[in-house]
A and B are shown apart, each in its own frame.
Chain A
């Protein structure tokens, strides 16, 4: 394995950790916020709701 692959894997594990679905959910929530705000509607509520939903889902996966 080249050092680039090893470095990329280390960065991935450092940032994303053992819960890639949460990281994916954060990216989706940021995209949804940008889309709603771009359409001129209030979008401030998206991230708080998404964050707590992602935490709840992550806890549920961890305890199943």
Chain B
């Protein structure tokens, strides 16, 4: 396995695990409170839609010329990576609330109890909330699977890494029978942000026609460089005099 493939697998695994933890909280809340049957049906429908998106767009992306693909994918990964990094840095600096899975679970459960139920049959609420949870949390993962996989011409590896992440999170959820509140979500999001930004920089530069000194080995400098610069920004924000907390932990 090459260094870029290892980077692909780690990035997809971490991104998918973070989003799966968030989706698990939503599905558990409606499943425990209302109906496991319709919550799991919603999960299945959400996964099916994500699979269709990956299956439809994957071959189209891999058909693009490699330089066009890398400049597009590099740019998109960079935009996404900088968004993930910004949120993670703000949370580390104490300027943005960290996501609390126990709190999210309680909030989702309260909403599920309050929602009316038509009868003993199809529970539209459980189905819709679980479907939307899986689809919305999964879209970013599908995007990462597609872009990383297409750039490496190895969508199969990206899908496998995503599947292992989901299986791990689901297994952990079944074992603890509670939301996974102890998962270091912000650290994982920070790592994903670093990886997306680093690969975005690397592929964007190559796609735009420039060459890296040392070729693929440049990633061994870019990834720690992005991580260190981002940590330096955390320190800078912690010391900034005019700090104010930002809302929206999503």
Within 8 Å by CB of B210, from A33, A51, A63, lies: A33
Contact A58 B86 (CB under 8 A): yes
Across the interface, A19 reaches (CB within 8 A) one of B86, B89, B205, B242, namely B86
Inter-chain contact B226/A63, CB cutoff 8 Å: no
Contact among A15, A38, A46, A62 with B205 in the assembled complex (CB-CB below 8 Å): A46
Cβ of A47: which chain B residues have Cβ within 8 Å of it?
A: 74, 78, 200-201, 204-205, 208
Partner of A48, one of B208, B222, B237: B222
How close is A40's CB to chain B, nearest CB, in angstroms?
Answer: 10
Q: Are A34 and B209 in contact (CB under 8 A)?
A: yes
| Interface size of B in residues (CB-CB distance below 8 Å) | 41
The residue on B at minimum CB distance from A43 is B210
Comparing B14-22, B120-128, B164-172, B211-219, the segment that makes contact with chain A is B211-219
Q: What A residues does B225 contact at CB under 8 A?
A: 48
B86 close to A42 (CB less than 8 A): no
Specify which chain A residues have a CB less than 8 angstroms from the CB of B207 in the assembled complex. Answer: 30
List the B side residues contacting A38 at CB < 8 Å: 209
**Residues of chain A within 8 A of B86, CB atoms compared:** 19, 55, 58-59, 62
Rounded to whole angstroms, the CA-CA distance of A55 and B88 in the bound complex is 12
Partner of B240, one of A42, A51, A54, A63: A63
Between B75, B226, B244, the greatest number of chain A beta carbons within 10 A of the residue's beta carbon is seen for: B75
Contact of A59 among B90, B201, B212 (CB under 8 A): B90
Is the C-beta of B230 less than 8 angstroms from some C-beta in chain A?
A: yes
Question: Shortest CB–CB separation between residue B216 and chain A, in angstroms?
Answer: 13
A selection of 19 A-B contacts at a CB cut-off of 8 Å is A14-B139, A15-B76, A19-B86, A22-B82, A22-B83, A26-B204, A30-B204, A33-B205, A34-B209, A37-B209, A44-B212, A46-B205, A47-B204, A51-B201, A55-B86, A56-B233, A59-B237, A63-B243, A63-B244
Which A residues are within 8 Å of any B CB, using their own CB? 14-17, 19, 22-23, 26-27, 29-31, 33-34, 36-38, 42-44, 46-48, 51-52, 54-56, 58-59, 62-63
Q: A46-B210, A48-B225, A63-B90 are in contact. List 19 more A-B contacts (CB 8 A).
A: A19-B82, A23-B79, A26-B75, A26-B78, A26-B82, A26-B204, A30-B75, A43-B205, A43-B210, A44-B213, A47-B200, A47-B205, A48-B222, A51-B78, A51-B200, A55-B229, A62-B95, A63-B240, A63-B244
Which 4 residue pairs across A and B have the least CB separation, nearest first? A43-B210, A33-B208, A37-B209, A37-B210
